[in-house]
Structure 1
Amino acid sequence: MSVRQLKNPDPANDRRVTQDSKLATRGSASARTRQFLISAIVLLLSAYLFIDPQSMKSAAGSYALCSRDGDKVYTVDAQNSQTQCIVVQGAYIVDRGSLQHVTNRWNRFSLNKLISRRASVETRFIEPGAIIVPGLSDSHGHILEYGAAQGLPLEGTKTIQDTVARVRNFILANPDIHNDTTKFIVGGGWDHTVWPSTGWPSAADLDEDPVIRGRPVVLQSKDCHALWVSSKAIEASLPFPESVDGGIIVRDDDGNPTGVLLDNAQELLKQPELTEGDLLRRFRVAVRDAHALGLTSIHDAGLDPASLAFFKRQAEVGTLPLRIYGMTFFDETKAYWGNVTTPVIGAGNGRLTARSVKIFADGALRTGGAALYEPYADNPSTNGFMRLDPEVLFDVIPKFLRDGWQVNVHAIGDRANGIVLDAFEASLKGVNVTASRPRLEHAQIMTEADMKRLGRLGVIASVQPTHATSDMWYAQDRLGPERVKGLYAFRSLIDSGARITLGSDFPVETMNPLFGFYAAITRLSPDGQSPHGPDGWFPEQRITRQEALRGMTIDPAYASFTETILGSLEVGKRADYVVLSQDIMTVPANDILATKVLVTAIDGQAVYHG
């Protein structure tokens, strides 16, 4: 008999055993669950303790910038949306939204936040009434020339004698210059269009002053298209040629140079090479003022070929103090270089790019060098001139486009703009215009047909609103009542489908971007005046505040191929922003110029505090 057969099975007992087993199992599972939860909590606490305590308070370089007044962050995204806060980590924007959203996501303790190890951020608030906008850009300026002009600024002088007196006082106020008669005296900003006398100033006007006489003096005009120089400055450059292609040597009745050189003739004047110290001083002056005015990016328009070489050297030794989009000067007398020169993209910690070429087609309206279809109304003997043979444009533009360069062409007069558009139209056949993004620099006087052609071709119009409010006082005398309607016609350009980007052409005009914003939306001078009254000069050509803000932020970013990282306050973009003391998008227009820059930040770091 087996052992199994000796047992007398009891079903009730079996059930009790089964139930006890289940209870035991449940108890064991419950214990395991408790143990798991305890372990998880321990692990989470360990993770918490393992996180750098400082990073839990505020990650290095991380903060939320908010307005207590509500949605006062103008993001300039595709929807032109506004929000209350942006969150900055390091050099980038990582979030945006309401204060509650930022608090919940970044500063309120939660299990999800702990698991994700998201560091808390410091919350900073802007002043009541202030707003936040993307870092402002100037699409057309001259950085080192600005620094030079600030040394001896001549803007605002009312007569030739007033200008001469300012030069004399500058010499007397600087002993190192006063004691060295060989030192070149350089200044800029004189504007003969506001002087009561007609005609050009002369070397004789400078030489009449006993303090100035015998010194080399070089004075750049307001529009940078003319030099007024002393006899001593001319001496080392003689003899001059009889004529200059694309330029004029102003002469007296006997054929002698009077002391004024226009456009390409300026290149005839020999001047001492600038030292690195000279360039650094000029650069620091420009950077200082740019930061104070809310500029984080400047498109340097290649007036001086030495400028770009200097910027490259600065980028090699460290991070540039602002973003520079440099245009390489085109010299038609030299061999084509687009296929043997490599564009610079993102040097100096991403702050220097030079992938465009700057070509001058004609002169300037102020000095009578803009190339027009019909003669000037106030000087019927001329219709201006092209600074290069139009065939050069048809030759080099397609080459530069083929070799991956953006082509930016200075064109002022209606004839110059028409010729340049002819060359662009011929060169852009089969070319991806979105990839090449050619630019018309100034686009000042255009026929209605050419405005429409500009929009159809997709060529960017780089315009300067403060030119309009400076030139409006003499423009009709120079162009006549009908032709002047096509001058600075910004609304017509936009309505034709063209994309515009705004700049100042400093030092020709003030560097302050708010002056450009105000001029674009009012067509008034800073004191609220215009030849057409308080509604503005040709008020139908005003643009909206939203268009003006985009023209100073996202549109310059597009024009410099950086719209994916700059130009708007969106997640993933560089944290370049400006805090303005009041809301320029809503305050009365006549209050805009009272706005102050409170903070300018580049890559999330404040470079200026007002």
Structure 2
Amino acid sequence: MNEVLLRTVRRVGTSGAPSDVRIVDGLVTEIAPAGTLDPTDADTDVVETAGAWLGPGLVDHHVHFDQWALVRRRVDVSACDSAEATADLLAEVARTGVADRVLIGHGYRDGMWPRPARRALLDRIEPRLPIVVISGDLHAVWCNAAALEHFSGIVGRPLVAGDDGVLREQDAFDVTGALSRVPDEVLDGFVADAVEAAAARGVTRVTDLEMTFGLDRWTHRVQAGTDGLRVDSGVYPADLDAAIRRGLRTGDVVEGTRGLVRTGPFKVITDGSLGTRTAATASGDGVLVWSFDDLVAMVRRAVDAGLVPTVHAIGDRANTLALDVFEAVGARGTIEHAQLLADTDLERFARLGVAASVQPEHAMDDRDIADRYWAGMTERAFPFASLDRAGARLLLGSDAPVAPLDPWVSMAAAVGRDRDGREPWHPAECLGVLTAWRGSTEGGRVGVAVGDVADLVLLEADPLAATGSGPLRRARVLATAIAGRFTYRDV
């Protein structure tokens, strides 16, 4: 028997009266007034919490985990406010000689730059060194001539960019995919560090929507000892046939992973992004990746095989299309992002049983870009409260590395819609803290009860008492546990 006894905790969602909580073999088995439970044997792990707050473990419903692990090792250009400043920063890095075969920057956001990206700015840094700068939303890469030539050879077709040197959408995805092909032992080490960092923020589960098939990689990682997260690993169209042949079904636990790895949803992308100006809007802007008929056929095939669909849709035209597909197939699932919605589509989420999987920090990153490129439409942008009022189920996430893999950042942006001392952006769309909390917890739970799997987070303060975004962004996690096993502990 494996027993943990948490003494003098206060449970989120209750009056805050102190309790003792007993965990046996991964389950919460007993809750009683503080000071009334004793360990049953000498090996019991007794944790004196001094009144810390106990809640269900936190979930990030949308990450690209390999990309997040890699980005933590790349040059951060997110603070650069122009193409020239970005090139200057990369030139400074190049002079240090740290770049090996490719110099990689990450996080550029050119929607508000005074002048567009130009390939020549990167070419003059070091003509023989391939230089790639990945956009903050992952939908574009800015390359020098050496990088375009280098990656054309890797992806097996010419990659042609104009004078700006920018590749968008599938070309960009192919380049970032090629950049991800580092030795397994190196990438697995990066991932292990990122798992530890996520656990330190209270995360117990992620839905990994990495674009390359990840189920086998996660199985290997867990078996090698990277066991600090539960992972639902998604499937993309390129791997749909293989997933069906293997009989993979969403929610199935992978053998040999101690219950930590499951088959995730079937992910399909319908349009681009706001930051890259490729989101499909009703005004005719942007791109649509698939036709309605192709989407219906593909989603129906996945659903018939037991895979739950999750559909990327940013613009209002893409979201209408995605909802039309769910309605035609008669399936439930999620729409990822739902950044711009037609008023008439709000109630369809609840009626069709489609959850809105949103990334609130994107609203903070993109508020100025939205004001410029979606002028006159931003009352319908990132409509969190409107979706909630319409009865939609909201799931919160980060889309890491687009935003940090930190549920407190997501909750803060959802509740306050503010950052960096600026006034809230369209505050009528702020979520209540309870809704944001439920959208970020394991199973949408508010608190901890007897019979729960002991996926838990121990906090310094009650998250439901937070007023505004500040306390949420500053939240201190004291411990995180999966099935009663501590994955992070500072108490």
Q: TM-score, normalised by structure 2?
A: 0.89
Structure 1 residue 542: deviation in Å? Answer: 1.4
Query: In the aligned structure 2, how far is the partner of 1:82 from the partner of 1:472?
Result: 41
- Cα deviation for residue 225 of structure 1 reads 0.4
Choose from 104, 128, 153 the match for 1:214: 128
Deviation at 1:338, TM superposition (A): 5.3
Percent identical pairs in the alignment equals 26
State the partner residue of 2:115.
198
State the match for 2:12 in structure 1. Answer: 74
Does 2:380 correspond to 1:486? yes
Match of 1:259? 165
1:540 CA displacement: 1.6
Letter in 2 for 1:459: V
1:44-65 per-residue CA deviation (whole Å, 9 max, x = no partner) reads xxxxxxxxxxxxxxx6433134
Deviation, 1:458, is 0.5
Partner residue in 2 for 1:501: 395
Cα deviation, residue 279, structure 1: 1.6
135 and 65 in structure 1: CA distance in 2 versus 1, 3 angstrom threshold: farther
C-alpha contact 2:213 2:234 (8 A) present in aligned 1: no
Closer, same or farther in 2 for the Cα pair 1:288/1:169, shift >3 Å?
Answer: farther
1:504 deviates by 1.0
- State how far apart, in whole Å, the 1-side matches of 2:174 and 2:425 are: 38
Instruction: State the TM-score, normalizing by the size of structure 1.
Output: 0.73
Alignment of 1:225-264 (within 5 A): 225-238=139-152, 250-252=161-163, 258-264=164-170
Between Structure 1 and Structure 2, the one with more helix by share is 1
Aligned-pair CA distance for 1:367: 0.7
Which letter does structure 1 place at the counterpart of 2:397?
G
Match status 1:330 vs 2:237: yes
Residue in structure 1 matched with residue 190 of structure 2 by the alignment: 282
Alignment pair present for 1:575 and 2:454 = yes
Q: Which residue of 1 aligns with 2:431?
A: 543
Q: Does the C-alpha gap of structure 1 residues 355 and 136 become closer, same or farther in structure 2, counting only changes over 3 Å?
A: closer
Offset of 1:122 from its aligned partner?
5.8
Pair 1:606–1:449, CA change in 2 (3 A): same
Matched, 1:450 2:345: yes
User: What is the CA–CA distance in structure 2 between the aligned matches of 1:400 and 1:365, rounded to whole Å?
Assistant: 28
Give the corresponding residue for 2:291: 389
Candidates 269, 273, 279, aligned match of 1:364: 273
Deviation at 1:420, TM superposition (A): 1.0
* 2:195–2:226 CA contact under 8 A, matched in 1: no
Query: What is the CA distance between 1:403 and its match in structure 2?
Result: 1.2
Amino acid at match of 1:144: D
CA RMSD for the aligned pairs? 2.9
Deviation per CA, 1:304-339: give whole Å up to 9, x if none. 3154442233245456321111111223xx874553
Q: Which residue of 1 aligns with 2:3?
A: 61
- In structure 2, which of residues 80, 84, 93 is the aligned counterpart of residue 161 of structure 1? 84
Check if 1:342 corresponds to 2:247.
yes
Structure 2 counterpart of 1:426, which letter? A
SS at match of 1:192: coil
Confirm or deny that 1:529 pairs with 2:422: yes
Letter in 1 for 2:138: C
Q: CA deviation at 1:172?
A: 4.3
Segments of 5+ residues of structure 1 without an aligned counterpart are 1-58, 108-117, 253-257, 376-382, 531-535
In the alignment, the residues of structure 2 paired with residue 300 and residue 440 of structure 1 have an alpha-carbon distance, to the nearest angstrom, of: 15
Whether the 8 Å CA contact 2:336–2:356 is kept in 1: the answer is: yes
- Would you identify which runs of 4 or more consecutive aligned residues in structure 1 move more than 3 Å? 79-83, 118-123, 168-175, 236-241, 267-273, 306-309, 315-319, 334-339
Structure 2 unaligned regions, length at least 5: none
Instruction: Name the structure 2 match of 1:602.
Output: 482
81, 85, 104: which one aligns with 1:186 = 104
3-state SS in 1 of match to 2:127:
coil
Retained in 2: the 8 A contact 1:417–1:446? yes
| CA distance in 1: counterparts of 2:364 and 2:17, whole angstroms | 31
SS in 2 for 1:310: helix
C-alpha distance in 2 between matches for 1:186 and 1:306: 23
Give, as a single letter, the amino acid of the residue that structure 2 aligns with 1:511. Answer: L
Q: Deviations over 1:38-96 (max 9, x none)?
A: xxxxxxxxxxxxxxxxxxxxx643313423xxxx2116xxx999863321123221112
Counterpart of 2:301 in structure 1 is 399
What's the CA shift string for 1:283-314, capped at 9, x where partnerless?
Answer: 12321221222211111123x31544422332
Structure 2 counterpart SS, 1:540: helix
Q: Determine if contact 2:138/2:172 at 8 Å carries over to the other structure.
A: no
Query: What letter is aligned with 1:475?
Result: A
**Local SS of the residue matching 1:365:** coil
Structure 1 residues 581-600: Cα deviation after superposition (integer angstroms, max 9, x where no partner): 22232244233322222222
Q: State the 1:173 CA deviation.
A: 4.4
Separation of aligned partners in 1, 2:46 and 2:120: 63
Q: How does 1:389-468 map to 2 (within 5 A)?
A: 389-428=291-330, 437-468=332-363
CA–CA distance in structure 1, aligned partners of residues 349 and 2 of structure 2: 47
Q: CA deviation at 1:249?
A: 5.6
Cα distance change, pair 263–80 in 1 and its aligned pair in 2 (3 A): farther
Opposite residue 457 of structure 1, the aligned amino acid is L
Partner residue of 1:136 out of 58, 61, 80? 58
Cα gap change, 1:60 to 1:312, in 2 (>3 Å): closer
Task: Judge conservation of contact 1:338–1:399 (CA < 8 Å) in 2.
Answer: no
Contact 2:80 2:108 in 1 (8 A): yes
> Once the 2 structures are TM-superposed, how far is the Cα of residue 239 of structure 1 from its aligned partner?
9.1
